[in-house]
Amino acid sequence: MTDNNPYAEYDNRMVSEETNEAMWDTLTVQTAEQPKTTPIMNNNNQPTHEQTATEKLTNLIIELACSRGSRIVSTLEKINDYVETGLNRKADHAYYNLARNISKRLCENPTDTVVERVCNTLELSSSVIIDAVNNLKQSAKPRTAGGIVYDACVQYAVSTVRGDILRSNRVASSLEGCALRLCASRGIDGTIVMSEALDKALSKVYASIRSQAKTNGVEIGGKSNTATKNAAKTAILTELLRLKVEDSYQFDVIIGEVRPLSGQ
């Protein structure tokens, strides 16, 4: 069976030698002889070499972030959460660690200057990188064969979220994390902003609910497939949103703000 992964052409460990060389060419610009300055425009209103180098490095990071198993986007989203909550020193430390890891994957022996340039690029282009990677993944050709939707699985998931079914510790933990992530995933206008972090949280809830059903011997259909997983995740998100608006007590139980009543 072949794997129709749209990112199969990317190496998860290190990009191609051509890209590695381009990385060095990009990062060796603005050395000690050329101190960093604010990009200026030339007489033809064209960007300077510094601006072009930054854009090239941003594109290299985007390419790496599209590789299978990359956590660059989710890490940047977590760093943004640090900044929004005023944890600036923690954010700076996280930026440096991420820059060091990226530099090691793109270059064999990165210097401190290389790490610094990657770190600066991450700070300046964080939102650009996140948006670009998410757009690329959404527009990529999806995997074939979604399978049929097992309604029993979807209904079991909704009943578990609603509180009609007792939750295992694993389900309760994953559901709490998902609900908290949901609370932090609203845009300025109040609408839900889907992110890679929220999608992963929903996937954890789905996996824990299926595990609970299997442990308890509950029949929820056949083996998990893409169609059922996506339908269940959508139903879980919809039910969480409904509880937040219509049943704040149950939502508070989920996020651990109050203790459940006897029997729940």
Q: Name which of 82, 80, 64 is nearest 72 in CA terms.
A: 64
Name, in order, each residue with C-beta under 8 angstroms of 117's C-beta and a sequence gap of 6 or more: 27, 30, 57
CA gap 108, 111 in Å, rounded: 10
pLDDT digits (tens, 9 = 90+) for 115-152: 999 999 998 888 889 988 888 877 665 554 467 899 99
For the chain, the domains span: 17-139, 151-254
Q: Cα–Cα distances in Å, from 255 out to 126, 183, 198, 228?
A: 29, 10, 15, 26
pTM, full prediction: 0.46
Torsion of CA 112, 113, 119, 123, to 10 degrees: 150
Q: How many other β-carbons are positioned within 10 Å of the β-carbon of residue 244?
A: 17
Grade residue 258 by pLDDT with cuts at 50, 70 and 90.
low
Grade residue 25 by pLDDT with cuts at 50, 70 and 90.
low
Residue 107: the pLDDT is 79
Question: Across the strands, what pairs with 41?
Answer: 47
Residue the block writes with tokens 């949103």:
241
Q: Does residue 217 sit in helix, strand or coil?
A: coil
Grade residue 5 by pLDDT with cuts at 50, 70 and 90.
very low
Evaluate if residue 186 carries a pLDDT over 60: yes
Helix then strand then coil, % of the chain, to nearest 5: 60, 0, 35
Name, in order, each residue with C-beta under 8 angstroms of 156's C-beta and a sequence gap of 6 or more: 165, 209, 213, 218, 220
Grade residue 19 by pLDDT with cuts at 50, 70 and 90.
very low
Grade residue 261 by pLDDT with cuts at 50, 70 and 90.
low
CA gap 169, 149 in Å, rounded: 27
How many Cα atoms within 13 Å fall on the side-chain side of residue 6? Answer: 12
Residue 193: the pLDDT is 78
Residue 168 identity (one-letter amino acid): S
Evaluate if residue 30 carries a pLDDT over 50: no
Task: Identify which has the larger pLDDT, 73 or 3.
Answer: 73
Q: What is the percent of the chain with per-residue pLDDT over 70, rounded to a whole number? A: 73
Residue 69 identity (one-letter amino acid): G
Q: Which of 4-13, 56-65, 149-158 has the lowest mean pLDDT?
A: 4-13
Q: Does residue 192 sit in helix, strand or coil?
A: strand
CB-CB contact of 69 with 12 (8 Å):
yes
Record the tokens describing residue 3, joined without a space: 């794997």
